[in-house]
Structures are given as C-alpha cells and as structure tokens.
Structure 1
Amino acid sequence: MKASSLNTHMGNISIDNEVIAQYAGTVAMECFGIVGMANVSIRDGLVSLLRSDNMTKGINVELNQNKKLVLNFHVIIAYGVSISAVADNLIDSVKYKVEEFTGLEIEKINIYVEGVRVID
C-alpha cells in the first residue's frame, strides 16, 4: 500500500494514494473542458477513455522526499476549448481542493493531454 502520511500533534495520519487519486479525479471531472481521464497503453500505443469507476488509472500520485505531492493527470479534453485555459482551471481547482482535503501541499501538477473528443 502506497500512502502519503502527515504527522500531527495527535499522531500520524496515513492517506492511501488511491484515495487522493479518486478525489483529485472527481475534482478534475468538475472542470470545464475535461471529458475524462485517459488510459494509455504503452504496448499498443492506444489511448482510451476511462469510465468513472476506473478514473484513478489515469492519475498518478507520488509523495516526494520533501513530503509534497506530485500529481500526473492523463486527460482527454473537449474539442474546441483552449487547452491552456482548461489546464490552468484544472491546476487551480485540484491544487486548492486536494490541499484542503488532505492537508498535504502539492508541489507539482503535470497534465498530459492524451486526446480530444467532440461532446454532443
């Protein structure tokens, strides 16, 4: 189990990285222009849209040696929106809400745009 830990005056709090990824994915899906998380198959070179129950496969959570989080998002965005505007919105929303939720500081959020989809 990979977990991020936080030491408080009352003891140690350990948060599983899967929980952080699930919460970050939920926040990301609320952002305008995000269609979903992407699953990248390195072997086949294919990108597929993940359903909401598997969205954590498109998010990688790491705790670096400074005890700060690094989040990597593999996303599919909506056709016709500004990629930089969507990325800025995603970074701002996720950084604020995940830091508030976990109490851990985020050092970096990397966004990999894996595809574009037309939304009906």
Structure 2
Amino acid sequence: MKLQNDLGEIRISSEVFTAVTGSAATNCYGVKGMAVRSTTDGLVHLLKRESMAKGVKVYYNDDGTVAIELHIIVENGVNLTAVCHSIMSQVRYVVSSTTGVDVSTVDVYVDSVRF
C-alpha cells in the first residue's frame, strides 16, 4: 500500500498488515491461534506464531482502505459471537492506529474449535 502526503511517500508491505493483524487477533480472549486449511487433506491446522500470516488475507480497496479476512481456531466453550466481535474491534483499532490506514471490513471465519 502506498500513502502520499506533502512530505513524500510511505509504502507499507503486505507482511506488515498480516503481522499486525495476526498479532492483534491472537491476543484476543478465546482465540487459540490462526488457522489454515490444508490443500492435500482438507483438514484445518493451527499455525505457529512464526507462520500465522497464512491465516490472514488483506485486500486493498480503491478508496485507500483495506479489507481483512481472518481464519481462526477458538477455544471450546467460548461465546463465538462475542469472540468474533472482540476480534473485529481489536483488529480494526490496532491496524488503523499502527499503520494509519482505515479498515473497511474485518471478516472472521471460525475454522475449528479446540479442546
């Protein structure tokens, strides 16, 4: 993403958005971690901290905002609606305050529940 101002240009890579988003999401209560669905066996796998960016997709909109898609694994027994709303709010706030880019949407997909 490229941001212009009167002082010059700022370029923010996709890796920054995915790292900030993954960190904000996994710090929320009830989240076990980021998820990825295996293409070989179709199973959902819990990602390690080093590779949690695979569970995040960032889409750049024409109006200068970003749309974020998260795939997560949650703990058993938590209120899924409350956890997802918490993630949406936290991710939107952290990404906006860290990068200065507005977040248009945050879509959360619960891929699995872990015991």
| Deviation string, structure 1 residues 38-80 (Cα, Å, up to 9, x no partner) | 0112443111000000000000011111111010000000100
Q: 2:36 aligns with which of 17, 39, 55?
A: 39
Q: Secondary structure at the match of 2:113?
A: strand
Q: How many residues align?
A: 115
Question: How does 1:1-120 map onto structure 2 within 5 Å?
Answer: 4-118=1-115
Identity across aligned pairs (percent)? 35
Instruction: Give the C-alpha shift of residue 18 in structure 1.
Output: 1.1
Q: Secondary structure at the match of 1:109?
A: strand
Paired letter, 1:72: E
**Runs of 5+ consecutive residues of structure 1 not aligned to the other structure:** none
**Runs of 5+ consecutive residues of structure 2 not aligned to the other structure:** none
Runs of 4+ displaced beyond 6 Å? none
Paired letter, 1:105: D
Q: Secondary structure at the match of 1:81?
A: coil
Paired with 1:70 and 1:43, the residues of 2 have a C-alpha distance of 28
CA RMSD of aligned residues (A): 0.9
Paired with 1:109 and 1:29, the residues of 2 have a C-alpha distance of 14
Paired letter, 2:60: L
Paired letter, 2:95: V
Q: Secondary structure at the match of 1:108?
A: strand
Q: Is the 8 A contact 1:17 1:62 kept in 2?
A: no
